Structure 1
Amino acid sequence: MKKLLLAAGGKPGALLLAPLYNALKKNGIFKPVAVFAAAQSAEPLSRELATCFGIGEAGHTITLGEDSPGQQLAAVITGMEPIIAREQPVLVMVCGSDNAALGAALAATKLGVPVAVADAGLRCHDRSDADEINRILIDSIADLHFISEHSGEYNLINEGVADEKVFFSGNLSIDTLAVLMEQAERDTIAAELGLQPKKYALVLLNPAGAIAAREPLEMTLRLLKKMSGLTTVLVPLAAGLDELMKQHKLDKAFGGVEGLVMIAHPGHAGLLTLLRDSVLLITDSEELQAESTVMNVPCLTMMDNTARPATIEIGTNVLVGVDEEDIMSRIHDILHSGEHAHSSKRNKIPEKWDGAAASRIVEVLGRVL
C-alpha cells in the first residue's frame, strides 16, 4: 500500500492533519503516517484529537529544543530525512505554516519526494509575519496545492502556480470542528462555570503576540474592565499568559476585575463549546476566526490583517486593530444592535466549509498519485 506522510508542528497544523489522517485511513487506498514536530515540553498531539480521529502512537515525533527559528528549522529537516528514507512515502502532505511545516517541505524536496500543502495560498500580505514567509516558501515548493478559500487560488495563480496544480477542497479545520462538536454537545463546561448561553464574551489572548509588551497588555486590561461592565468576560489562560501578567506585575489587576472570569485552558473541544455559546469572540490571533464564522459568532480581531479574508468578506470577522474606542463601540453595538451591528452579521458560510474537505483531498490524491 502506498504511504502518505502527513507533517505538522503546532496546533493549527494538527487541526488540519487530524481529519485528513482519518479520511485516508478510512479510504484504504493509502496508508497515512503522521509526523509531529514539537518542543520537548509540549504534547505533539492532544489526546482529544488523537482519540476523535483515530491517530495512534505509530507515528513519528521530532523533538525541538528552545532554539532559534533557524535551529528549529534545521532540526526538523534533519529529523525528517531519516523518517522519509525509512517510510518511503509517495507524497509528503504539509499541514500548517510554522517552521515544522517548512522543514518538512524542504526535506521532502531535497529527497525528491513530491510535496502537497493543505490550506495553500493563504496570504496576510505582511512580510514581517514569519508564518507569511513560510507560507510563500512552502507554496513555491509544493507540487499540489489544496486551497480552503477562493483567495488561496487567486494568490497562487498571481504567483505563477499552474492552475492544474490547484484544487479547491475546503477548510480542514472545519472538518475538525464538525467532529469535535459532536463530542462538545455533551460538554457542560459553560454550565459548570455558571455561565448562561449568549450571556458572556469569549476573549483569547496570545502571550507571544501583540500583548507581549506592557503597554498593549495594559490596554487590554482597560478594555476588559470596560467590557465586564456590559457582560461577563471569559478568558481561557493560554500557556504563558499567566506568567506574562506576573512579569508585568498586572496579575492582581486582572484578577481583581469584577465580571472577568479567567480559567485554565479547556482544550480545543471545550474551547469550541465556549465559542458556540458566547455572544462574541475577541482575539488577537487567527485562532477560531474560521470557526466563529461557521458558528455565526461575531468576531473582533485585534490585528491589522488576516490570512483568511473569507472570514471578513462573508464571515463574522472584523479587523479592529488596537483602537480602544472603536473596539468598545463595536462591542456595544454587537450587544445592543447599533451602528456596527451589520458588520458582524454574515450572509453565508464560505464555500466548501462543510466538514467534507478531507474526503475531497483524498479523492484528488486517489486520481493523481
Structure 2
Amino acid sequence: MKKRILIVVGTRPNFVKITQFKKVAEKYSDLDLRIVHTGQHFDAKMSDIFLKQFKIEVDYFLDINGTTANSLIGHIILKLETVISEFNPDLLLCVGDVNSTLAAAICANKLKIKLGHIESGLRSLDKEMPEEVNRILTDEISDICFVTEKSGIQNLKKMGKKDAQIFFVGNTMIDTLVHFKSEIEASTILEEIQAEKQDYFLVTMHRPRNVDTKQALLKIIDLFENTTKIKKVVFSIHPRTLDSFNKFGLFEQLNTIENLTIIEPQNYFSFQKLIAHAFCVITDSGGIQEETTFLQVPCITLRENTERPSTIEEGTNTLVSFKTDEILEAIQEIFKGKLKTATIPKHWDGHATERIIKKSMEFLV
C-alpha cells in the first residue's frame, strides 16, 4: 500500500522550497505525494508566476482570502481539514514560518496526522516577529524536524526534541537554485533595466518595522539618496512597501532619486539573476540571506537579529542596524575587500529534497 504525504504551502518563499518534491517522489513507486496551496499569497506576481515557472502541479487550492492573521489561519484549518479527510495522509509536511505553516501544523495535530516541519529549528529569538512565533509553535507539535543548518539542531534539543526526531538535511531552497541554474542565467533582466554586472546594489524591504511607518520610509529615502551616489540602486519594491509609500504620500519623493531604478516583484529566474550579479544585496528578507551565501554575494541585512546564523558565521551575510551611516560603513568594508572568507554551509548541495523524502519514508515504516 502506498504511503501518502501531503505538503502544504501558501507563499512565494514556500514555493521556492518545494520545487523538486514531485520530481523526487516519482522515484518512489510506493509513494503518493500531493501539494496543497492555501492561497495565502494569491497575487499573480507574488504567487502564480512562480508556480508556472517551476511547473509545480498543485493538487488542492484552498483559495483563502483572510484579512487578518487569525481569520487566515482559521479558514485554512477549516478548508484543510476537508482535504485531509479526503486524502487521509500518513504524513503532513509544512514549510517555513508563515501563517499557512502554523495553520497546517495545528490542523494535522488536531486530526492526529503525523507532522513534519521543513526548515525546522530556526530562531531569531525575537518574539515580536510573527514568523518566530509560528516557528516555535510549529516545531513544538512536529513529530519529525528537517533542519537546514546546525543552529537548528541545538534549538530543537533545547525545546526537548529527541535525536530521533531531528534530521539535518540541508536547504531545499538551494535545490531550486541548483536545478534552475541555466534558466536563471538565461534571464535578460540586466539588459531590461540597463544594469551592469557587479555595478549595482540590489535592495528589498518588506518587514513591517522597516516599511509600515512614515519615519521608516524616510529612512529608506535617506539610504537611497546616499547609496545612489556610490552605485546604481535597483529597488525591487514589495506590494506592501509600495502601498506604504503611497499611503504616506512619499512615492514621488522616492521616484525622483537619481540613479535609482524601481522595479516590481520579478519572476524567480530574473530575481535570482539580479542577486547573482549584484555588487551587494541590502535586504530584510530571510531567504535572501541564504541565497546570497550560496551565490557568494555580499549581503547586508537590516535587522537586529537573524534566524539564519550560518549565513553570518559561514556565509556572506552581515547584520547592520537600519542607520544610513552604518550601512555605508558596511559597504565600504566590501569595497576594501574585507568581507570575511565565506563558505557554503553543509548539505547546501542541491540534494536536500531527496534526503527529506528518504527520511520521511523511513519514518513511516
TM-score grouping bracket, smaller chain normalisation: over 0.9
> Is structure 2 residue 320 aligned with structure 1 residue 290?
no
- 1:124 maps to which residue? 124
> Do the aligned partners of residues 56 and 242 (structure 1) sit closer, same or farther apart at CA in structure 2, a change above 3 Å counting?
same
Structure 1 residue 21, shift from structure 2 partner: 3.3
- 1:362 maps to which residue? 357
- 1:259 maps to which residue? 259
Tell me which amino acid in the other structure corresponds to 1:296: Q
Structure 1 residue 6, shift from structure 2 partner: 0.2
Structure 1 residue 105, shift from structure 2 partner: 1.1
- 2:306 maps to which residue? 306
Tell me which amino acid in the other structure corresponds to 2:342: N
Corresponding residue to 1:351 among 346, 351, 354: 346
Structure 1 residue 96, shift from structure 2 partner: 1.8
- 1:245 maps to which residue? 245
* 8 Å CA contact 2:12, 2:50 repeated in 1: no
- 1:46 maps to which residue? 48
Q: Which moved more, 1:136-145 or 1:63-72?
A: 63-72
1:211-250 deviations in Å (ceiling 9; x for gaps): 2211111111111111010001001222233332222221
Structure 1 residue 354, shift from structure 2 partner: 0.9
TM-score, normalised to structure 1, is 0.93
TM-score, normalised to structure 2, is 0.94
Percent same amino acid at aligned positions? 28
* 8 Å CA contact 1:280, 1:298 repeated in 2: yes
Question: Distance in 2 between the 1:243 and 1:136 partners?
Answer: 30
> Do the aligned partners of residues 188 and 203 (structure 1) sit closer, same or farther apart at CA in structure 2, a change above 3 Å counting?
same
1:73-129 deviations in Å (ceiling 9; x for gaps): 111111111100100111000112111111111111111110011011011001111
SS of 2:358's equivalent? helix
* 8 Å CA contact 2:311, 2:317 repeated in 1: yes
Question: Distance in 1 between the 2:332 and 2:169 partners?
Answer: 37
1:188-212 deviations in Å (ceiling 9; x for gaps): 1102222110011100111644222
Structure 1 residue 65, shift from structure 2 partner: 2.3
Tell me which amino acid in the other structure corresponds to 1:55: I
SS of 1:215's equivalent? helix
* 8 Å CA contact 1:2, 1:30 repeated in 2: yes
Structure 1 residue 11, shift from structure 2 partner: 1.6
* 8 Å CA contact 2:10, 2:41 repeated in 1: no
Tell me the matched-pair count: 362
* 8 Å CA contact 1:207, 1:244 repeated in 2: no
> Do the aligned partners of residues 195 and 93 (structure 1) sit closer, same or farther apart at CA in structure 2, a change above 3 Å counting?
same
> Do the aligned partners of residues 103 and 48 (structure 1) sit closer, same or farther apart at CA in structure 2, a change above 3 Å counting?
closer
- 1:9 maps to which residue? 10
> Is structure 2 residue 222 aligned with structure 1 residue 227?
no
> Do the aligned partners of residues 262 and 220 (structure 1) sit closer, same or farther apart at CA in structure 2, a change above 3 Å counting?
same
Tell me which amino acid in the other structure corresponds to 1:276: A
Tell me which amino acid in the other structure corresponds to 1:300: I
- 1:211 maps to which residue? 211
SS of 1:71's equivalent? helix
Structure 1 residue 345, shift from structure 2 partner: 3.2
- 1:157 maps to which residue? 157
- 2:94 maps to which residue? 94
* 8 Å CA contact 1:315, 1:347 repeated in 2: yes
Structure 1 residue 265, shift from structure 2 partner: 1.8
* 8 Å CA contact 1:201, 1:278 repeated in 2: yes
Structure 1 residue 148, shift from structure 2 partner: 0.4
- 1:198 maps to which residue? 198
Q: Which moved more, 1:77-86 or 1:11-20?
A: 11-20
Question: Distance in 1 between the 2:310 and 2:345 partners?
Answer: 7
- 2:73 maps to which residue? 73
* 8 Å CA contact 1:207, 1:238 repeated in 2: no
Question: Distance in 2 between the 1:19 and 1:45 partners?
Answer: 17
Q: Which moved more, 1:235-244 or 1:297-306?
A: 235-244
Instruction: Tell me how large the CA RMSD over aligned residues is.
Output: 1.7
Q: Which moved more, 1:23-32 or 1:86-95?
A: 23-32
Structure 1 residue 39, shift from structure 2 partner: 4.2
> Do the aligned partners of residues 40 and 227 (structure 1) sit closer, same or farther apart at CA in structure 2, a change above 3 Å counting?
closer
- 1:20 maps to which residue? 21
Q: Which runs of no fewer than 5 residues in structure 1 stay unpaired?
A: none
